[in-house]
Amino acid sequence: MGNRTQLMDEMNRLRHDLLLMGTRVEESLRKAAEAMRTQDVELAREVKADDELVNALQLKIEDQAAMLIATQQPVARDLRELVAVFKATDNLERSGDHAVHLAKAVIKLAGEPPFRHIERLERMANSGCEMVRGAVGAFLARDAEEARRIAALDDEIDHEHKAVVDEALGFMRDHPEQIERANRIIKTAGFLERLGDHMTNLCEAVVYMVEGSHVELNE
Amino acid sequence: MTANSTTTRENPQGLDLAPEAPTLRTESLDAVKNDASDAPALDVRGLDIRYADGFHAVKGLAMSFPKRSVTAIIGPSGCGKSTALRAFNRMNELIPGTTTGGEVLFRGVNIYAPGVDPVQVRRWIGMVFQKPNPFPKTIYENIAWGARINGFQGDMDELVESSLVQVALWDEVKDKLKKSAYALSGGQQQRLCIARAIAVRPEIILMDEPTSALDPISTSKIEDLLDELKKRYTIIIVTHNMQQAGRVSDSTAFLLHGELVEYAPTKDLFFNPRDERTESYISGRFG
């Protein structure tokens, strides 16, 4: 036996693709937030198109990871990383979907007067971007402490989520004729809140990969 | 052929490991099977083995083997795993100049204590080797011979059949028991050797790379067999094949340079080893 060069090369390729996938999801979320702020429907449409690449990357990474399990018989740290890769791609893919949901809301709300809760949604999206970047970074650095720090950012998203919902409900009471529009804001905030949960899951996968134990972060 | 035991130990149970009592013990397998005590099947303490050229093959090995389970010993070539295994039934004494220190306790008796007969030790603690080594005799005689010289006086046909059934070979050979064992395939020969080992009703079966000379299907049959055999016997297997250790064993010990690096439940050792050297070895980064 040598240094498992083939396995290491393939794992590096996998990590590279995971970084690419994370970057794409972060970009999509950033674009969707920008589209929301500027009411740019064209930019929002780009987010929908970009999601196909994220989905394709998920399948590519998972096929590659399955192939490595089948052919290289990884154990211990290598095996835990491959198991964590499946968790990571799953949660990144769902996060990409939530970026699309935000983009769709932008398209649906286009032409309507700017909504005052937009700033909170934007802050949620920005925190989401930070979580995506940080969680993928912690994965690649095999840094469990960093993963715990990133997972804690979910509190900020949850806080904004609660505030958006409270405000939107109040808006509904004051403007019953705008219930549908306020409801869309609540749903969109819910998607961003879920995105934070998915990135928390990814951080838990990092801890599992590094330490070999299952943890609940940010309960 | 020196076996230098550092400790003498009384024989508190009057176990018939002495040369003057060569008859096969009639203690039934069920009694062993129903032995509920959680004392280990084998307790190794400070085992130290040197070869004639001074090579220190095993250094202070201390570990105990739980009853009716499969323990795998893994490690790179030259790590001392086969040497240690052979010490568990005094096989190293067949290698001139080998010295053995420490204790190997079987039912509380140090098998290296003065007055203990190595032949009797091997009756209780059998060995299956890397290459199938049936006797140049019939299939039937391969089973019957060992039992007969151990004084077995029961129904030999029944013993042959039950031994072959236990290794899942009976259906394949029942119509050719009088044929030479050499007519069998390698995998069948190895199962015959296991049947031969269990025919004298040992408590512990040592296996030294038992499938390394076999094809995948025969290997799979032996591995399935281990799962059955561990219900009655304690099995200690040395293997180079880490996937095999992962598949068949309950506990795994990793030896390096004659020392025990890590000994843990197999699922823990292969999933989250505590020692960096274990991690490197099992993930194929050295060895």
Q: For strand B251-256 and strand B259-265, is the pairing parallel, antiparallel, or unpaired?
A: antiparallel
Say yes or no for a CB contact (<8 Å) between A212 and B272. Answer: yes
Residues linked to residue B105 through DSSP beta bridges, in sequence order: B43, B110
Residue B24 has pLDDT above 50, yes or no: no
The answer to whether residue A10 is domain-embedded is yes
B186 DSSP β-pair partners: none
- What residues are paired with B260 via a beta bridge? B255
Alpha carbon distance B258, A101 (integer Å): 61
Sheet holding B125-128, edge to edge: B125-128, B204-208, B234-238, B70-74, B251-256, B259-265
pLDDT-derived band of residue A94, with 50, 70 and 90 as boundaries? very high
Q: What is the pLDDT of residues A146-204, one digit of tens each?
A: 999 999 999 999 999 999 999 999 999 999 998 988 998 999 999 999 999 999 999 99
H/E run at residue B48: strand B42-50
Q: For residue B114, which of B13, B9, B214 has the smallest C-alpha distance?
A: B9
pLDDT in tens, B62-99: 999 999 999 999 999 999 999 999 999 999 988 999 99
Mean per-residue pLDDT, B179-197:
95
Residue A216 falls within a domain, yes or no? no
pLDDT tens per residue across span A63-79: 999 999 988 889 999 99
Q: Tell me if residue B73 falls in helix, strand or coil.
A: strand
Residue environment code for B64-85, b if the CB has 16+ CB neighbours within 10 A, otherwise e: ebebbbbbbbbbeeebbbbbbb
Residues A101-115, mean pLDDT to the nearest whole number: 86
Cβ distance B283 to A212 less than 8 Å, yes or no, reads no
CB-based contact A75 B272, cutoff 8 Å = no
Nearest to B214 by CA among B244, B236, B235, B234: B244
Q: Which residue would you say has higher pLDDT here, B259 or A39? A: B259
Q: Is residue A218 part of a domain?
A: no
With respect to residue A135, please indicate whether it lies within any of the assigned structural domains: yes
Does residue A117 fall inside a structural domain? yes
**Closest chain A residue by Cα to residue B283:** A75
**Partner A contacted by B284 (CB < 8 A):** yes
- Kindly state whether residue A219 falls inside one of the protein's structural domains: no
Instruction: Please tell me the distance from the alpha carbon of residue A204 to that of residue A150, in angstroms, as a whole number.
Output: 10
A122 inside domain: yes
Dist CA A117 CA B17 (whole Å)? 86
Task: Tell which wins on pLDDT, A40 or A111.
Answer: A40
**Longest CA pairwise span in chain B (Å):** 54
CB contact under 8 A, A76 and B273: yes
pLDDT tens digits, B28-69: 334 444 456 779 999 999 999 999 999 999 999 999 999 999
**Distance in Å, alpha carbon of A78 to nearest chain B alpha carbon:** 7
Q: What is the chain A residue with the closest CA to B271?
A: A76
* Helix-, strand-, coil-residue percentages of chain B, each rounded to 5: 35, 20, 45
CA A218 to chain centre: 16
Half-sphere exposure of B47 (CA within 13 A, CB side): 30
pTM of the model: 0.82
> What domain count does chain A have?
1
Give the position of tokens 């180079």.
Answer: B240
d(CA B84, CA B92): 9
Estimate the crossing angle of helix A154-174 against helix A179-211, to 10 degrees: 170
- CATH of residue A88: 1.20.58.220
Q: Give strand pairing partners of B100.
A: B49
Expressed as residue numbers, the domain containing A74 is 2-211
pLDDT computed for residue B20 by the predictor: 41
CB contact under 8 A, B270 and A74: no
| Average pLDDT of the residues of chain B | 88
